[in-house]
Amino acid sequence: MKAKLDRLLTQANIQLNDQQKQQLLDLVNLLNKWNKAYNLTSVRDPQEMLVKHILDSLVVSPYLQGEYFIDVGTGPGLPGLPLAIANPNKHFVLLDSLGKRISFVRNAMRELGLNNVTPILSRVEEYQPDEKFDGVLSRAFASLKDMTDWCHHLPKESGYFYALKGIYHSEEIQQLDDKYTIKQIIPLQVPELVGERHLIILQ
């Protein structure tokens, strides 16, 4: 596993220290263990998790601007936990409406020694943060319109939405409210992943 992670990180041009790499491997092992009882992800093979969950999350890291982020519909902490491991100087709020997912996130924080993560059990439209975010992340939303409709109260004036998508559909942009502008559409290169990935940044 470690050799594969090293290879994937090199291919993606992501620099991490040995402790961070170990935390990522421990996260995969935790996911694999919990998945047997709680069915957190449809990906069953730890080697596949490295590509589809860990690298797929980490490739967003270079584009994050600011220090305070929320991962909406985080599921088992994706992309929030890998990003928190890779960015110890940034803080991530991980929000989900399912208790078993937030229980997993809490457990992972403890096991991995992460102190830059706050888990929140809530529906996104009911969550009222004390402080607005530099960035709102999600790889769970069906459409950009849903993401902006449900999360409009979360970013700062200067904040961004970061939507992780598969194939990019231009008609999604046309459905957006006029008050949102697309800042960037970035094709992401995830080593060994079959299929397209895009990061769409809105303001």
Strand-pair partners of 71: 94, 137
Contacts of 92 (CB under 8 A, 6+ apart): 69, 70, 71, 80, 81, 83, 84, 116, 117, 118
Which amino acid is located at 9 in the chain?
L
Q: Is 195 annotated as a binding residue?
A: no
- Residue corresponding to tokens 């961004």: 160
Contacts of 124 (CB under 8 A, 6+ apart): 72, 73, 95, 97, 150, 151, 154
Taking the C-alpha atoms of residue 71 and residue 57, their distance in angstroms, rounded to an integer, is 11
Q: Is 139 annotated as a binding residue?
A: yes
Q: Is 80 annotated as a binding residue?
A: no
Instruction: Determine if residue 22 is left, alpha or beta; phi over 0 gives left, psi from -120 to 50 gives alpha, anything else beta.
Output: alpha
Secondary structure element (H or E) that encloses residue 157, with its range = strand 155-165
CB atoms within 10 A of CB 87: 17
| Burial annotation 128-158 (CB, 10 A radius, 16+ → b, else e) | eeeeebbbbbbbbbeebbebbebbeebbeee
Binding-site residues: 73, 78, 124-125, 139
The binding site for S-adenosyl-L-methionine comprises: 73, 78, 124-125, 139
